Amino acid sequence: MELSIGEMLMIALAIVVLFGPDKLPEIARGLGEGVRKMRGAVDDIKTEIMKEADNPVSEIKKEIDKVKQSAQDYNPLADRKTETFINEETPKKIDLSEDDSHEGPVSR
C-alpha cells in the first residue's frame, strides 16, 4: 500500500487538527517505535520459518546421502563369492572325449 504525497499531507493535517501541534512529536515517536517493533517481529517470524523449513530438507538430504553410500558400499557378488568358495569345492574338469559313458553330441 503506497501513499501519495497528497494523501500523506491530508493524514498529517488531520492528525494536527485532531491532536494539536504539541502532541505531533510524541505521536511520531510512538508510530516509529511501533513500526520498529513490527519489523522486528516480522524478522523473527521469518527466521523461525526458515529454520523450520530448512531442517526437514537437510534431514532428508542426509538420509539420501546415507542410502547412496550404503548402495555404493553394498556388493552382493562379494558375499556370493566368499560363500561359494567356502561351501563348495572347485569342480573337477572332465574331458568328454575320453569318457565312453558320455552320450552327448560328440562324433566318433
CA distances from 36 to 21, 29, 51, 98 (A): 24, 11, 23, 100
Q: Backbone phi, then psi, for 106, in 5-degree steps?
A: -95, 125
How do residues 7-61 score in pLDDT, each as one tens digit?
Answer: 989 988 998 899 888 888 888 899 899 999 999 999 999 988 887 776 667 778 8
Query: pTM score > 0.85 for this model?
Result: no
Quick one: which of 42, 44, 62 has its CA closest to 52?
44
Sign of CA dihedral 18, 21, 22, 28: positive
pLDDT in tens, 51-104: 777 666 777 888 899 998 888 887 777 666 555 555 555 566 666 666 666 566
